[in-house]
């Protein structure tokens, strides 16, 4: 059944029964006064929830008046009206004089939302008492304002919903064509428009209401629960600064009501009742409010609910994941046939590789060999794999062209390394690429490229930069600035070694002069290195006891882990299991490891707090994967994390989180 409808606005004032009342006192009103200004004060406080109001009680079941009994004579300023004035002043941080003084009158004159204040609970975020039963909510446009193109109104409402759904796990979709059975119907109306709450016109003495939105349906709902109405008598604008009333600000506020939020007394919050100009982003108070109703975002894969992205690969094969811009993810894996396969995701679309539809982009490599993938710009991808002949091969892509390596046309850029050895690739600028690999002799080799030149290592001319490590040991490489590179390898003695380079100098580790920075780990264990700022480096490794250890450096101070002083941050994992580490901001680090039970575990850190996983308190986020399987983790924005793993069935699985 379609929901009840209200009269569509025409841009003209409707029935004048409500607007004919006056709500804004002109002068000082205080105890003992009588007359028109007292009546106006009474009208205002009754309308917005501070005095008994039968209509509000019927429409908003959770609402309670601030003062339980109304004054017997609304034209006389008695103790009950004084109490209501004090409650109003208290609610909005005014001096509690009990008089309708100048600051109180100034606030009353400000444009505001027509939804009443729930004075009994007003404070930092307040919920309205009802909510949508699930997380899927629909909306439609009943009409549009003649002040703006319809497309502008539609994008404004969509943007407001997007902000709320970014803060809580709501899936909000538009039903086209003004569908009458949408949960929330958005429209523009003037005067008496059939919902029992007539608008008052632009800037009149009747309360200066801009819009109102009803809470989600509850007891006694008459078919308009969730609907949002905007006063067509106002002049609506989407420009900055607004040429009238800012529609994005008012829409964001009203739709908060439509999702179940009441007013907040936090003046800077979106859910503050009074309009004071453009306020287009949610505050911490607003976010806490919506999450108190619908919960926050958790990992999608908890309860072993990881999503399959398809594929047919070696069990536990390493996945390379790249985010070349916030709305794009690209995955790469070497299949059982030695070819490289890719699947990609673009915001608003599903993964291209679902239903085992991964695309082959050629190659002839050891099955499951690790692929080093790097995005040096939003429109460039470069891949590297060590082949069956020990040479390094590359394929590249740029926007508007296909992969260079299709039809098994990958290019050899030389080398003489262990078959399928793990490579590290770094893009320190948009025009510089550096590769690193540990050779058959335990030394680290490098080849580099810059725009306008070929790879330095062609013709097997890779340069040795020293070392004495297990053959093919993984090298962790990081560029903390465009002119700094840092390398890390776990040696034959279980200690971590480093070599560094900066523009104008050679590698510090040449002539086997790599520096030990301590540790006591499995020989050749895989390290994760993260540069969360230009002056901070963090290392992670899983030790012989299954615990994760860390050492950190910042400019001007030595590594914290020297003298075998690496810090344990807990865990209970396979010895030497790879740790996926990501810095989503300069003050946030997130770690992921696949445990002995095949589940993925995480620990996180933020500035000012300790690691969440200390005392073996790592959190399981589900899964059913090979013990210690390599994970790939990507932070495509400061509030988005995506994790990928190849399962026991050879399919790729993912779990994601949004802050």
> Who contacts 186 (Cβ-Cβ below 8 Å, separation ≥6)?
139, 140, 141, 142, 157, 227, 228, 230, 251
pLDDT in tens, 445-489: 999 999 999 999 999 899 999 999 999 999 999 999 999 999 999
Q: How far apart are CA 2 and CA 355, in angstroms?
A: 37
Q: What is the percentage of the chain residues whose pLDDT exceeds 70? A: 94
Mean pLDDT of 532-559: 98
Rounded to a whole number, what is the largest CA-CA distance in the chain?
Answer: 99
Q: Containing H/E element for 640?
A: strand 640-646
pLDDT in tens, 157-204: 999 998 998 888 888 999 987 767 899 999 999 988 888 788 888 866
Q: How far apart are CA 371 and CA 331, in angstroms?
A: 10
254 carries an active-site annotation: yes
Reported confidence tier of residue 436, pLDDT bands at 50, 70, 90: very high
pLDDT at residue 10 in the model: 39
79 class by beta-carbon count within 10 Å (0-12 exposed, 13-18 middle, 19+ buried): exposed
Among 88-102, 114-128, 382-396, 397-411, the least confident range: 114-128
The full set of domain ranges for the chain reads 136-294, 308-577
Q: How far apart are CA 81 and CA 41, in angstroms?
A: 8
| Top-level class of domain 308-577 | mainly beta
> CA angle at residue 330 from 352 to 645, to 5 degrees?
90
What sections of 284-426 are H helices per DSSP? Answer: 284-294
Reported confidence tier of residue 303, pLDDT bands at 50, 70, 90: confident
CATH 3.40.390.10 assigned to domain 136-294? The reply is yes
Structure token digits, residue 477: 């490489």
Which residue among 82, 232, 254, 281 is the active-site one?
254
Pick from 516, 542, 518, 540: nearest CA to 529 = 540
> Who contacts 19 (Cβ-Cβ below 8 Å, separation ≥6)?
13, 191, 198, 199, 200, 201, 204, 206
This prediction's pTM: 0.67
């Amino acid at each position: 059944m379609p929901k009840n409808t209200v009269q569509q606005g025409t841009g003209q004032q409707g029935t004048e029964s409500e607007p004919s009342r006056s709500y804004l006192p002109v002068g000082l009103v205080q105890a003992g006064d009588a007359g028109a200004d007292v009546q106006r004060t009474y009208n205002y406080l009754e309308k917005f929830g501070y005095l008994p109001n039968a209509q509000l009680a019927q429409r908003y079941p959770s609402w309670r008046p601030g003062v339980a009994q109304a004054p017997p004579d609304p034209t006389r300023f008695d103790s009950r009206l004084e109490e209501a004035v004090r409650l109003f002043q208290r609610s909005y941080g005014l001096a509690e004089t009990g008089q309708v003084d100048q600051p109180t009158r100034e606030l009353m004159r400000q444009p505001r939302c027509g939804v009443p204040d729930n004075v009994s609970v007003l404070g930092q975020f307040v919920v309205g008492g009802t909510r949508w039963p699930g997380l899927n909510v629909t909306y439609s446009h009943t009409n549009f304002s003649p002040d703006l193109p319809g497309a502008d109104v539609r994008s404004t409402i969509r943007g407001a919903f997007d902000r709320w759904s970014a803060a809580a796990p709501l899936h909000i979709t538009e039903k086209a064509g003004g569908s009458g059975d949408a949960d929330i119907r958005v429209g523009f109306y003037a005067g008496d428009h059939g919902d029992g709450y007539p608008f008052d016109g632009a800037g009149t003495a009747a309360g200066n209401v801009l819009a109102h939105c009803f809470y989600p349906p509850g007891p006694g709902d008459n078919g308009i629960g969730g609907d949002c109405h905007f006063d067509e008598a106002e002049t609506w604008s989407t420009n900055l600064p607004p040429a009238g009333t800012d529609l994005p600000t008012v829409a964001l506020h009203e739709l908060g009501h439509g999702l179940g939020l009441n007013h907040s007394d936090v003046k800077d919050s979106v859910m503050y009742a009074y309009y004071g100009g453009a306020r287009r982003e949610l505050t911490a108070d607003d976010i806490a409010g919506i999450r108190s109703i619908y919960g926050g975002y958790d990992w999608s894969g908890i309860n072993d609910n990881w999503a399959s992205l398809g594929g047919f690969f070696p069990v536990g094969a390493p996945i390379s994941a790249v985010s070349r811009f916030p709305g794009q993810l690209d995955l790469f894996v070497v299949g059982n046939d030695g070819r490289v396969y890719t699947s990609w995701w673009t915001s608003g679309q599903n993964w291209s590789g679902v239903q085992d539809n991964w695309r082959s982009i050629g190659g002839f490599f050891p099955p499951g060999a690790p692929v080093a993938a790097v995005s040096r710009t939003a429109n460039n991808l470069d891949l590297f794999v060590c082949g069956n002949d020990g040479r390094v091969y590359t394929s590249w892509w740029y926007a508007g062209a296909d992969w260079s390596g299709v039809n098994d046309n990958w290019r050899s850029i030389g080398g003489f390394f262990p078959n399928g050895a793990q490579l590290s690739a770094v893009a320190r600028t948009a025009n510089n690429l550096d590769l690193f690999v540990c050779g058959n002799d335990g030394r680290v080799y490098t080849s580099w490229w810059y725009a306008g030149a070929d790879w330095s290592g062609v013709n097997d001319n890779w340069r040795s930069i020293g070392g004495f490590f297990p053959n093919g040991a993984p090298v962790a490489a990081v560029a903390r600035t465009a002119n700094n590179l840092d390398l890390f390898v776990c040696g034959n003695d279980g200690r971590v070694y480093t070599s560094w380079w900066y523009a104008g100098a050679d590698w510090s580790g040449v002539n086997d002069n790599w520096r030990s920075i301590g540790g006591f780990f499995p020989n050749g264990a895989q390290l994760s290195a993260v540069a969360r700022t230009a002056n901070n480096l963090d290392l992670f490794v899983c030790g012989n006891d299954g615990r994760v250890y860390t050492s950190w450096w910042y400019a001007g101070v030595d590594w914290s882990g020297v003298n075998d002083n690496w810090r344990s941050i807990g865990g209970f994992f396979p010895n030497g299991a790879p740790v996926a580490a990501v810095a989503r901001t300069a003050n946030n680090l997130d770690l992921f490891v696949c445990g002995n039970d095949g589940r993925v575990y995480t620990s996180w850190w933020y500035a000012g707090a300790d690691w969440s996983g200390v005392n073996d308190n790592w959190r399981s986020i589900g899964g059913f994967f090979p013990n210690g399987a390599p994970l790939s983790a990507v932070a495509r924005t400061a509030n988005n994390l995506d994790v990928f793993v190849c399962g026991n069935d050879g399919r790729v699985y993912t779990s994601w989180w949004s802050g």
